[in-house]
Structure 1
Amino acid sequence: MSDQDIYADIRPYNDDEVAPAIERLIADDEFIQAILHYRFPHLAGPFGWLLSPLVKFALKRRWARLTTVQAVQRQVAAFMDRMIAKSTNNITTSGGEHLQPGKAYLFVSNHRDIAMDPALVNWCLHQYGLDTVRIAIGDNLLRKACATELMKLNKSFIVKRGAKGPREILKNLSHLSAYIKHSLEQQQSVWIAQKEGRAKDGNDATEAAILKMFYMEGKKRGEQFKDYLQSLNIVPVCLSYEYDPCDIDKINELWQKQTQGSYQKSEFEDIDSIIKGIVGFKGRVHVAFGQPLTDIPSEPEQLAALIDHNIWQQYRLYPINYLAAGMQHHSVDEHIVEIWQQRLQALPPGAMPLLCQLYAAPLLKQQAEAAKNCTI
């Protein structure tokens, strides 16, 4: 690691760091136990001591050829192909014609799933023959050493959220802003969620604070907000899941906050959400890439509204969205009604409107946008 490696604390691994990181992963007993727990839940306890060496041996054989970031990305793409076949009915994508090979973009995306949102963006870019992105991920998801290794192997960079005082927060945000610009200047595209945390209520809204963070490096360079943000090649991205594998968990959290005033996450809740999001059934999924924004407003709030407009406009609606909104749709059949009723019955009666809101929000927002356009 060179003296000039000023982003070493947050950046993904480089090629020369891949093999050592994989060695550390395979040697990490907690990581091996996690694999056993999710792959062989009935055997992990009593036979863990016997299976652990076998898992380590298998991983060494499978990962021996992974010595570059590109090789890791190919492995991830193969995993995604298998996961998509098992957990979705179909994945469609649009907007690839707006993207140019060899050009770096800042993809600002709605956020419904911790791991799948950026993974699906990467998978679609791969289908278009374009390079994958560097992924912004909060350090709250990296409490375990093995999680950090996995994420940094997969082109993730760290958003530090645990700062204590205002000065440290400002320093971290400035560092992050500079790294995003540095990545784009290296012709490395970046994915970041439009706000901190998933949209558990279905309301995909861009935080102006994220856009102000982007501008911190521009301000340091003496550039105007509009001009600097223009240089980042911002592309709004909208991911539409027919079914959210974590929907009941999201609503239970909102319900607890609403009825008890607070919600306390369990130790492994984020990891469980990641796994559920990956392996859980998602039905149909659509990934829409908007056109790169060329007419950037001069205020962060105006830009946030423009990104929101682009995201909501591209949302792919499914029969369940109409069902949740209490509206008729020609494709709502008995099977979909049954799936919806099962989800509602899994919740306390008072929490049911929250689930309706989660699924109805895209439809209602699109209708509101259409009505607004009609009156202009």
Structure 2
Amino acid sequence: MDQFHDIRPYNDDEVAGVLETLVNTPDFINTIIGFRFAKWPQWTRGLLTVLVKRALKKETQRIDSVKAFQSQVAGYMERMIKTTTTAVEYRGVEKLSADKGYLFISNHRDIAMDPAFVNYGLYLNQLDTVRIAIGDNLLRRPFVSDLMRLNKSFIVKRSATGIREMMAAFGQLSDYITHSIQVDRCNIWIAQKEGRAKDGVDLTDPAIIKMFYMSQKKQKIPFAEAMKNLHIVPVSISYEYDPCAFEKAQELHQKSTTGSYQKSEFEDIDSIRKGIVGRKGKVVVTFGDVIDHNCDSPEEMVAEVDRQIINNYAIQSTNRAAHNLLQGKDSGDAAFDEYLRSCPEDIRQQVLTMYANPLIQIEKIRS
């Protein structure tokens, strides 16, 4: 019996069937039309539906494995990089070995692009791409779940309610991560905490580390040894410009002024779209060192992950400019000044703080 069948990515023998289902899913086709042809008049929708389905059938008919699907995704990544970034730099990837599975714990700024940029760096260096942890809150539309699982995503059941159900979900997740690394020798990507760091403060949730340990704790393996078995590598992802910065700041502003914020039904899907097509400037992905020394408690592991993620964060010109403006100085960055002209005045402080916080964190940890 496949104990992970309800959370794992799709296997090669499932790919063709899932793709056929996707091509015949109206919600998926309509989303593509809305994404690519948003400005076309409504009367063209019928023709576009026929043409998009025909193009997708042609494009997917030769895809019969996860690797083939990801090769197709790599082509889209290359085009996205050319149109939305000025440069993409990878640091520390040369330290990774192809014969070992790693648990990459990453800071989290963009729902889809964070693991996508990590994946692309591994792909360029002939290393195995990651299995991606994704919350079931993002999978409200079935076609999104199918697409994510085709791209090696596995499901984190955040919607679990009640202590027993939550513990069962965390236990299954822990077993899956441990099995992926120790048995399958596959790489895993997971964010350091639930949700994006909308304020730019990158801190690890101890609950994530405790979840990692659940599987090996059942085998009476000491905490420090269990963590070493997972080959944990902290990853720092830095964007010069965040395509969703104003939306994040608006959420923070609303929470600070009203005490709450209610997401619209498909707000996360829209954030994914903006993250893909939006301006990013320079992107830097830094792979830290494998944590192979003794961390005897979740708190010690959290401290080490945070230390590496914060120290390895590539400070961008926008981080310095925002920091300068918060101190009452000139930004020193004309491009950032131009960017801020389109920022609503009521969220300007949140935007500046979001961009400045990585630099503030580094100053704190090094002082």
Q: Quick check: TM above 0.5?
A: yes
1:291 and 1:29 mapped to 2: Cα distance? 45
The alignment partner of 1:134 has SS state of strand
Alignment match of 1:276 (pick from 265, 274, 277): 274
Equivalent position to 2:38, from 38, 41, 44: 41
Separation (CA, whole Å) in 2 of partners of 1:62 and 1:313: 43
Task: Output the amino acid matched with 2:102.
Answer: Y
Alpha carbons of structure 1 residues 31 and 217: separation in structure 2 relative to 1, 3 Å: same
Q: Give 3-state SS (helix, strand or coil) of 1:114's partner.
A: coil
1:311-350 alignment, distance < 5 Å: 311-326=309-324, 332-343=332-343, 346-348=344-346
Distance 2:67 2:330 in 1: 45
* DSSP 3-state at the match of 1:342: coil
Asked if residue 55 in structure 1 is aligned to residue 56 in structure 2, the reply is no
CA-based RMSD: 1.5
**Correspondence 1:207 to 2:195:** no
Residue number among 346, 350, 357 corresponding to 2:353 in the alignment: 357
Counterpart of 2:151 in structure 1 is 154
Match of 1:374 in 2: none
Confirm or deny: 8 A CA contact 1:135 1:192 kept in the other structure: yes
Counterpart residue number, 2:20: 23
Rounded Cα–Cα distance in structure 2 between residues aligned with 1:341 and 1:309: 34
Tell me if 1:129 matches 2:126.
Answer: yes
1:221-370 → structure 2 map (5 Å cutoff): 221-326=219-324, 332-343=332-343, 346-348=344-346, 351-370=347-366
Residue 193 of structure 2: aligned partner = 195
Counterpart of 2:19, as a letter, is I
Alignment TM-score, normalising by the size of structure 2 = 0.96
Question: How far does the alpha carbon of each residue in 1:355-376 deviate from its partner, in whole angstroms, 9 at most, with x for none?
Answer: 11110111111112222xxxxx
Contact 1:44 1:51 survives alignment (8 Å)? no
Output one character per residue of 1:86-109: Cα deviation in whole Å (capped at 9) or x when no partner. Answer: 100000010012101121100000
* Aligned-pair CA distance for 1:325: 1.0
Write the letter of the residue equivalent to 2:340. Answer: W
Per-residue deviation at 1:42? 2.4
SS at match of 1:33: helix
Shift of 1:335: 2.7
Q: Which residue of 2 aligns with 1:218?
A: 216
TM-score, with length taken from structure 1: 0.94
Tell me which amino acid in the other structure corresponds to 2:14.
E
How many positions carry a matched residue from both structures?
Answer: 364
Q: Aligned partners of 1:89, 1:32: CA distance in 2, in Å?
A: 31
Structure 1 CA distance, aligned partners of 2:168 and 2:134?
A: 18
Structure 1 residue 83: Cα displacement: 0.5
Shift of 1:331: 9.5
Partner Cα distance (1:157, 1:44) in 2: 38
Letter aligned with residue 365 of structure 2: E
Matched-pair contact (CA < 8 Å) for 1:320–1:340: no
Q: Secondary structure at 1:256's aligned position in 2?
A: helix
SS in 1 for 2:104: strand
**TM-aligned CA deviation for residue 347 of structure 1:** 4.1
Give, as a single letter, the amino acid of the residue that structure 1 aligns with 2:20. Answer: E
Bigger mean CA offset, 293-302 vs 43-52: 43-52
Gaps of 5+ in 1: 372-376
Moved more, 261-270 or 35-44: 35-44
Q: Are the aligned partners of 1:138 and 1:161 in contact in 2 as well (CA < 8 Å)?
A: yes
Structure 2: which amino acid aligns with 1:301?
E
Change beyond 3 A, Cα 1:237–1:124:
same
Aligned-pair distance for 1:54?
1.0
The one-letter amino acid paired with 1:263 is Y
